[in-house]
Amino acid sequence: QVRLVESGGGLVQPGGSLRLSCVASTSIFSIYDMAWYRQAPGKQRELVATIFSGGTTNYADSVKGRFTISRDNAKNTVYLQMNSLKPEDTAVYYCNTKTGGWNWGRGTQVTVSS
């Protein structure tokens, strides 16, 4: 099974930025449509951003214009650049395929607070 390892989270003030990374333990990473998800306390996991194998990206309305998803197939890594962070972005962030088909990793905590 593919192992996913997320990193880059932390505590940041409103308006700040963070860059999340997720490494997948598969040699055929490039063929998968990848996504970032997040789960806030007491809420269901939600899809934040998607990057297709060809490079096309989609975003949830709540993060459009602030977050950017990208990928480096040579490093089996997907990134999430988060700018202009808001307290409502506080959550545990996970990566997975667009269909959530791999085992979930531990995620990385993002806390936006002054």
Per residue in 5-64, pLDDT tens? 999 999 999 999 999 999 999 989 999 999 999 999 999 999 999 999 999 999 999 999
Please identify which residue in the block is written with the tokens 């593919």. 2
Strand partners, 47: 37
DSSP class of residue 32 equals S
Q: Are 93 and 36 in contact (CB under 8 A)?
A: yes
**Confidence check: pLDDT of 76 > 90:** yes
Tokens representing 72 are: 């480096």
Q: Is 3 exposed, middle or buried (CB count within 10 Å of its CB: 0-12, 13-18, 19+)? A: exposed
